[in-house]
Amino acid sequence: MKNITTLKEFACTPDRFNGGHRLCPGCAHGMIVREVVNATDDDLVISTATGCLEVCTAIYPYTSWDVSWLHIGFENAAAGISGAEAMYKALSKKNKSYNPDKNVKFVAFGGDGGTYDIGFQSLSGATERGHDFLYVCLDNEGYMNTGAQRSSSTPIGAHTTTSPRGKLSYGEKNRKKDLTMIMAAHGCPYVATATPGSKHWKDMAQKAAKAISTVGPTFINALSPCTTEWKFKPEDTVEISDLAVETCMFPLFEIEDGHKLTVNYKPKNKLPVEEYLSKQGRFSHLFKPENRWVIEEIQKEVDRYWEYLLRREEAGV
């Protein structure tokens, strides 16, 4: 496990995910992927589900990846990586000389569409079979690559093209699926949430380092603010991630062995959710008087979930 203490030391890591990709300006995908890839010195094999990340980093003839990289369909990033991992194990067993000079680690990246909805069966299967890999979900709360369709990660009230706001509609009507808890229920040795917030780079890098070094299936759910479809200015990416944590819309916690929950960051002053919602254009219609009740609902749900996390941490079960 790579020891990450100070940013000054961490910044000496040579980049294995290079710039020049065509992600939008201010896209958080770049920040998250760089931190995860730099969080280990071992050789990496990466599989990426179809999505913004895959489309933008591998445009012929250029590639941004300086590691073994596998592009695979929307639904089977986890299946691809578990196949690669099984082959690596089988070859090491068969041939004594197939001994790498460094460990090889396996990482899969998927968007929220490729994780919450389409890729869920392969992720669930790979977790159940117990392959040794890390799955990182880059959660931008919708199918942003194809122009903002709703996914099961879209929160209540958000405007997307398939859950539009209007005279009678207040946007998305279903609540966000709690995938982190679902993955913990699979019995993964390590499950965590992360954001690219200004105080939380270390939290994310350490979680990635820990998850990569843990044997067995591990999962990180990383909130990735999308400047284009959440409708905020590109320079606010980090601020939005901060607000998501400060308002407890996206709390930072980790679960070990499927049950031991630790809340990694407790905001001193829990901000009201309006602070987070008002910064984003996709929630702007909620501030009309007739839609105010949706904000109250969101606040209630956030409070309930935060209390649940705190109580569960306290109980230690």
Contact set with another protein (CB under 8 A): 6-12, 14-31, 34-35, 43, 45, 57, 59, 61-64, 66-69, 87-88, 91, 95, 97-101, 104, 196, 198, 201, 227, 233-239
Full strand arrangement of the beta sheet holding 218-223 = 68-71, 43-48, 104-111, 134-139, 218-223, 190-194, 253-256, 260-263
**Closer CB to another protein, residue 31 or residue 183?**
31
**Closer CB to another protein, residue 5 or residue 269?**
5
Q: How far apart are CA 121 and CA 266, in angstroms?
A: 33
Q: Tell whether the torsion through CA atoms of 52, 54, 60 and 66 is positive or negative.
A: positive
Q: How far apart are CA 14 and CA 310, in angstroms?
A: 38
**Closer CB to another protein, residue 218 or residue 224?**
224
C-beta of 82: minimal distance to another protein in Å? 16
Selection from 214, 206, 267 nearest residue 105 by Cα: 214
**Closer CB to another protein, residue 69 or residue 250?**
69
CB 47 within 8 A of CB 14: no
C-beta of 224: minimal distance to another protein in Å? 10
CB 162 within 8 A of CB 229: no
Q: How far apart are CA 120 and CA 132, in angstroms?
A: 17
**Closer CB to another protein, residue 123 or residue 204?**
204
**Closer CB to another protein, residue 17 or residue 306?**
17
C-beta of 276: minimal distance to another protein in Å? 17
Q: How far apart are CA 218 and CA 192, in angstroms?
A: 8
C-beta of 166: minimal distance to another protein in Å? 32
How many other CB atoms sit within 10 Å of the CB of residue 271? 15
User: At 46, is the secondary structure helix, strand, or coil?
Assistant: strand
**Closer CB to another protein, residue 27 or residue 72?**
27
- Tokens of residue 34, six digits: 């760089």
User: At 42, is the secondary structure helix, strand, or coil?
Assistant: coil
Strand 134-139 versus strand 190-194 pairing type: unpaired
HSE toward the beta carbon, residue 298, CA cutoff 13 A:
29
User: At 254, is the secondary structure helix, strand, or coil?
Assistant: strand
**Closer CB to another protein, residue 43 or residue 301?**
43
